[in-house]
């Protein structure tokens, strides 16, 4: 639950914004422009500020209070992953293929939150369009966020489940349509490569790949892996609590 406070922040909010560590580098002119563009709302303790279902075209600034970011763990239970201090609230990472985290930013105390369209926010801070900023960020940072996210979710998975998650991830990055169905990996991926990615020995990985192939979840064509994504997603959904099997 939230309470609408005012249409835009007043001049007094400029001083408050200047005190926020992760946006204090903005000039006085930029802070004044940002303060005037923010829509400020008050969120009561334990209410949801925004979730991964909310529009990705908004930026959120925690003006006062303490927030927390939570998500579903492997067992489907909600757990806290970050405590958020006043300042720009970090955006949620894009979920790894086959895993539904259900991220949510919640008010740990009563909070005041400023909201602004992402394009306006980026233009005020950097003087460029948000679309170009997104392209630059994606090119520069890549998807390093997937590494800890994937590793944390591989803990406790069976080898079959780990292989399924890694193959889905590879098919997203290297997959091309296959004439006989499924998605073919354009990159050469060896058994040893998969063994490194899932943390198992090559012989064990080879054995489990044969089992996945026997169940028609993967196949080989011209020395390239063919991934049948829907079948792997269904396998994950039926064998792992907390996994949705959806592409999110």
Write the pLDDT tens digit of every residue in 170-202. Answer: 898 788 999 889 999 988 899 998 998 888 899
CA distance to 12, 38, 40, 47, 187, per residue, from 87 (Å):
16, 13, 14, 18, 42
Reported as a single tens digit per residue, the pLDDT across 147-159 is 666 665 666 678 8
The pLDDT value recorded for residue 131 is 81
What is the pLDDT of the chain when averaged over all its residues? 82
Instruction: Tell me the helix, strand and coil percentages in the chain, rounded to 5.
Output: 40, 25, 35
Give tens-digit pLDDT for 104-147: 999 999 999 999 999 999 999 988 888 888 777 776 766 666 66
Q: Where in the chain is the domain with CATH 1.10.10.10?
A: 156-239
**Over the range 14-26, which residues count as b (16 or more CB within 10 Å of their CB) and which as e?**
bebbeebeebeeb
**Cut 0.75: pTM above it:** no
CB atoms within 10 A of CB 125: 19
CB 148 within 8 A of CB 71: no
> What mean pLDDT do residues 225-236 have?
92
Evaluate whether the domain defined by 156-239 bears CATH number 2.60.40.1080: no
pLDDT tier at 248, thresholds 50, 70, 90: very low
Distance CA 23, CA 145 (A): 22
- Report whether pLDDT(210) > 90: yes
Residue 180 CB contacts under 8 Å (≥ 6 apart), including other chains: 221, 226
Which residues, in sequence order, are CB contacts of 140 under 8 Å at separation 6+?
Answer: none
Residue with tokens 């609590």: 241
Q: Which residues on neighbouring strands pair with residue 111, listed in sequence order? A: 43
The helix/strand count (H/E) of the chain reads as 9, 13
What confidence category does residue 245 fall into, taking pLDDT thresholds of 50, 70 and 90?
Answer: very low
Percentage of the chain surpassing pLDDT 90? Answer: 37
CATH of region 2-141, choose from 2.60.120.10, 2.40.10.120, 3.40.50.300, 2.40.160.10: 2.60.120.10
pLDDT score at 214 = 94
pLDDT by residue (tens digit) across 60-79? 999 998 998 988 876 677 88
Cβ atoms of 52 and 91 closer than 8 Å: no
C-alpha–C-alpha distance, residues 167 and 182, integer Å: 12
- Could you write out the DSSP letters of every residue in 46-80? T-EEEETTS-TTEEEEEEES-EEEEEE-TTS-EEE
């Amino acid at each position: 639950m939230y309470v609408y406070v005012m249409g835009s922040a007043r001049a007094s909010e400029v001083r408050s914004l200047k005190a926020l560590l992760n946006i204090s580098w903005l000039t006085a002119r930029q802070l004044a422009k940002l303060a005037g563009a923010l829509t400020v709302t008050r969120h009561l303790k334990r209410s949801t500020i925004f979730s991964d279902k909310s529009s990705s075209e908004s930026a959120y600034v925690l003006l006062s209070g303490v927030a927390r970011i939570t998500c579903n763990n492997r067992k489907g239970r909600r757990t806290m992953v970050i405590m958020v201090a006043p300042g720009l609230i970090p955006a949620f990472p894009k979920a790894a293929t086959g895993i539904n985290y259900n991220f949510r930013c919640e008010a740990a105390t009563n909070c005041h939150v400023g909201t602004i369209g992402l394009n306006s926010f980026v233009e005020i801070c950097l003087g460029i369009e948000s679309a170009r900023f997104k392209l630059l960020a994606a090119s520069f940072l890549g998807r390093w966020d997937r590494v800890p996210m994937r590793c944390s979710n591989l803990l406790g998975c069976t080898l079959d489940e780990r292989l399924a998650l890694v193959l889905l991830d590879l098919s997203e990055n290297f997959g091309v349509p296959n004439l006989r169905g499924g998605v073919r990996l354009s990159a050469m991926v060896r058994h040893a490569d998969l063994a490194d990615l899932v943390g198992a020995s090559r012989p064990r990985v080879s054995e489990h790949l044969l089992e996945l192939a026997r169940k028609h979840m993967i196949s080989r064509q011209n020395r390239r892996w063919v991934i049948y994504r829907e079948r792997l997603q269904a396998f994950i959904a039926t064998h792992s609590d907390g996994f949705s099997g959806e592409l999110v």
